[in-house]
Structure 1
Amino acid sequence: MASDSLVPEAAAIVLQSTAFDAPLAAELFLIGRVLFGGVLAFNGLNHFLDADGMTQYADSKGVPRPRGAVLFTGGMLLFGGLGTVLGVAPILSVGALATFLLVATPIMHDFWKVPQGQQERELVHFMKNTTLLGATLLLLALGSVAWPYAL
């Protein structure tokens, strides 16, 4: 029984020691974090800088309490994006981004409900957000591994 509990621990130690051993792996991971998290944090900032416009858009999509939703999701994006860039609380940071994308994507980019002339644009945004959601899942898989250059 005791040896069974060592197997996951040993696997975690091996993953920990090899995840970023390849040449430039740590540096590429940092650049990826800065690009990915930075763009999402900037989008979160825009929720506050253009709160009126974002609120109108959210209201047009039938979001309940659109102003509060815009400010709350802006906070999620800022927290998640900055946390990803800095490598702070990666599971919470990336989890906030994943939650945002999982909930917001089908509500805000409902290409199947919009008029024909808007479907392609909404489909592109839906697919983009789905891709970003996939990236958050990849980062969540590395959440228990020490991220290089993290604060």
Structure 2
Amino acid sequence: MTRTATPRKPRASSQARIEAILAAARELLAEQGVTGLSVYSVAERAQIPPSSVYHFFASVPALLEALTADVHRAFREALRAPIDPATLVTWHDLSRLIEQRMLDIYNGDAAARQLILAQHGLSEVVQADRQHDMELGELMH
């Protein structure tokens, strides 16, 4: 009998630590860009040992991939938000509405701008962004 592994949801204490790590990484990214991000700077900002950061994220690119997933989660929520059909006359209206929602996310999130729009050259982040873009395209369709 073969059993498939089901990903477990982290315990509350682990989830709180993951959230603290991601919040610290997000702040540093917004303030200093990708170059100011290291496991040690994130640990210092989160006020936890570096080993705790390594426990959940093996590297800075792994942290950035998780942050990219958070940004795209916000995009998905923006796409799923209700739209009043009375405000739409043409498909251009729908396009403008969706574009404005995405711009609002970027304008309110400096870390998102650093991750998605900056030229950081991190292939892991670019690849994750492409995958998320494909998912967003399907959702828009």
Both proteins in one fold, TM over 0.5: no
Query: TM-score w.r.t. structure 1 length?
Result: 0.30
Query: TM-score w.r.t. structure 2 length?
Result: 0.32
Q: For the pair shown, which has the larger CA radius of gyration, 1 or 2?
A: 1
